[in-house]
Structure 1
């Protein structure tokens, strides 16, 4: 059994603000003591003005690799559909080196149809996108073993989603971190499903860090269920770090 401390992530949503604001907020969050800075991998805002200000995921991660010094960085999550898996592996390896070994490869199968249709990707079906992810993950792992120079470390893989037949099986096989969007009752059920998939392949489920949203109403129960990575979010035009400050205080009490 792995005993993990609580970690706190901030998803700094790259929408409705200029990049100077994003950079300043990322720096402030690092100074406050956040453990991980996440963005997301979309091409348009997910809420608010649908054609509002928005920036691309991976070029931003490379910039964060230079502008921060301590926090882990990653996408919550990168969409498998948008990039050849070998290219994504190389991009991740490069940002890993730029950051000095602080990248987390968050990845999922994709869901926001506008991203696909506007940028010319085939949307297909949810099942087909998950099948593509299942094919991509071993290709990413294989490419990391071939790159020169190799990654600075075994890059942690975060898989987001909760599908019981496909997604959680991929989590059991490939993930270092599983991010669930579920409420506490659903999380308890899905953890049981994940343990079953781990048992099938002979993996200790405690090797997988459980990641959830950081809502105050269910935080303590999710902790008792085994969650150790809690992420809160903020976006533009005026990012608010009030909730981040509160959950960082909760982390410090839990880890004391």
Structure 2
């Protein structure tokens, strides 16, 4: 069993697929890998979340498939997939396929969805926060069952990353299914949420130490990152957006990672 104390710090880069030509995105992930970043993420939306709302934008899963073929060492996934946009069995098959393309480097990041414009313009039922979370809870067992029945099976136990911090439903789903839990919590909030998550883990018979704690670096100081580290966070992701991905922002955080892992 892996505990936070023995788990190494990892640095992720989330390359938001907005406001950039695909060639720029492709070059950015190549540079991110060459720099020694541990994980490359994108996100699962159909329109930009910042800047011109009708600016350039590309679809998540097809990008991930291209990245899987293009790269050789970095792990990759969405931060996060929207469960509402694709049948759960299809999601499982797509994830298994990218797992094979990448040689076992795919992370299945998922969540219940929240961006209403995506739903409205692509014809999905937006529902409510509660109904979307209920659908995620219902679909994850189907995804796991499909992985167990596919031929060929995944190359490894595909890590499941779940994003979100809702205490009544999301953290219960995390306790039941996640290998990685991602949130945007401040240190004080993370400390509280970890207590809630530990309670859910006790209820479902799970050890909290099995779950890697993931958080966002954008806007954080080193002091805040140190506090998050002390609370057990080990995957730290820096969000970057087109049209020009400012990859120099990763350099200091990669050095910070190396310092933590050298202790």
TM-score higher than 0.5 here? yes
Question: What are the residue-to-residue correspondences of 1:57-72 with 2, within 5 Å?
Answer: 57-72=60-75
Equivalent residue for 1:128? 131
Shift in Å, 1:89? 0.1
Equivalent residue for 2:179? 176
Q: CA RMSD in A?
A: 0.7
Q: Does 1:147 align with 2:150?
A: yes
State TM-score, norm by structure 2: 0.96
Equivalent residue for 1:104? 107
CA deviations 1:25-82 (Å, max 9, x no partner) are: 1000100000000000000000000000000000000000011100000000000000
Q: Does 1:115 align with 2:111?
A: no
Equivalent residue for 2:227? 221
The gaps in structure 1 that reach 5 residues or longer are none
Equivalent residue for 1:208? 211
Equivalent residue for 1:234? 240
Equivalent residue for 2:55? 52
Structure 1 residue matching 2:181: 3-state secondary structure:
strand
Between the aligned partners of 2:205 and 2:53, the Cα distance in structure 1 is 45
1:138 maps to which of 141, 150, 173? 141
Question: What are the residue-to-residue correspondences of 1:184-203 with 2, within 5 Å?
Answer: 184-203=187-206
**Number of matched pairs:** 256
Shift in Å, 1:218? 1.1
Shift in Å, 1:111? 0.2
Structure 2 residue matching 1:218: 3-state secondary structure:
helix
Shift in Å, 1:188? 0.5
Moved over 4 A (4+): none
State TM-score, norm by structure 1: 0.99
Between the aligned partners of 1:75 and 1:110, the Cα distance in structure 2 is 12
Shift in Å, 1:203? 1.1
